[in-house]
Amino acid sequence: MKRQGKTGANGTNCVTQGRPIETPWALIDPHGGLQMSMLVKKAQASAEAGFTLIELMIVIAIIGILAAIAIPQYEQYIVTSKASGVVANFKSALTQVTAGVAATAAGQSTDLTTALNVSSSQNPAGGGLAFIIGTTPSTCGQVGITGTSLTSGVLPASNTASIAIQVGSCTAGTSLDTAVKQALTAAGYSAAYGAAINVGPNGSIS
């Protein structure tokens, strides 16, 4: 004998022949279950699909624009930083030479190699040592200190000659060449680039 199915609250049979019928609640949810289920599936499908070609092209274009602006500015920052380092080294050399010349008036000698810590100095522009004493600079940005009275980097108490301080030239026309020139000019020592600033035996600077 067949068992009569019981009628549920929504009018559907819940049991037929002793077996429960699975009710598709998502389809009959009066609160929008069907619509929510479809939205979730659509969102999942979109996430799995990834970016469209147009979206990727827009992202690449934005990255290209940012790179075109940022990279030149970063490179200019590096060049300016190197030029500033060269000027700082030149000022250190000028300070030590001026102090050494003043010390000669008191009968004292000055070891410029030690005063400038030459062996540990760094040339920010051309690499190598920042200072060279007794000869002209050989690399871009290096500071050379020369004078007929200098012996092994020592300015003797008997000094009566001028001491020349010079900054080594960089490759002409490069951004670093221009930056070093501008930095020295702004500091008031344009003559030091390619020529020399001279400290006289009486301490005068020309």
pLDDT tens by residue, 149-175: 999 999 999 989 999 999 999 999 999
Kindly report, residue by residue over 5-18, the tens digit of the pLDDT.
445 445 444 444 55
CA 70 and chain centroid, separation: 11
CB 13 within 8 A of CB 5: yes
**Domain assignment of residue 31, yes or no:** no
Kind of pairing between the strands at 143-146 and 131-133: parallel
74 alpha carbon, distance to own chain's centre: 6
pLDDT in tens, 40-93: 676 666 656 567 889 889 999 999 999 889 998 999 999 999 999 999 999 999
Q: Tell me what pLDDT residue 26 has.
A: 45
Domain contains 30: no
Q: What is the dihedral of CA 76, 79, 85, 86, to 10 degrees?
A: -130
What are the backbone angles phi and psi of residue 46, rounded to the nearest 5°? -65, -40
pTM, two decimal places: 0.71
Give CA–CA dist 97/146, Å, rounded: 10
Structural domain includes residue 1: no
CA distances from 35 to 46, 48, 49, 59, 148 (A): 17, 20, 21, 33, 95
Task: Say which range, 28-32, 71-75, 132-136, has the weakest mean pLDDT.
Answer: 28-32
Residue 88: inside a domain, yes or no? Answer: yes
> Which residues are bridge partners to 20 per DSSP?
15
The number of distinct structural domains making up the chain is: 1
- Considering only CA atoms, give the Rg of the chain: 40
**The residue type at 34:** L
Residue 28 is assigned to a structural domain of this protein: no
Instruction: Give the integer Cα–Cα distance in Å for 103 and 157.
Output: 7
- Domain range for residue 57? 53-199
- Given this model, what pLDDT does residue 196 score? 95
Number of H helices, E strands in the chain: 5, 8
The SS3 of residue 62 is helix
pLDDT of residue 133: 95
Residue 62: count other Cβ atoms within 10 Å of its Cβ.
10
Type and span of the H or E element at 65? helix 53-104
Residue 47 belongs to a domain: no
**What integer pLDDT is reported at residue 12 of this predicted model?**
46
Mind listing the pLDDT tens digit for each residue in 104-127?
A: 988 999 999 999 999 999 999 999
Q: Residue 93 domain-assigned?
A: yes
pLDDT number for residue 33:
54
Rounded CA separation 82/124 (Å)? 5
Task: Look at residue 126 and give its three-state secondary structure.
Answer: coil
Residue 97 lies in a domain: yes
Q: What is the DSSP string of 136-205?
A: ---STT-EEEE-TT-BTTEE-TT--S-EEEEEPPPPTTSHHHHHHHHHHHHTT-GGGBTS-EEE-TTS-B
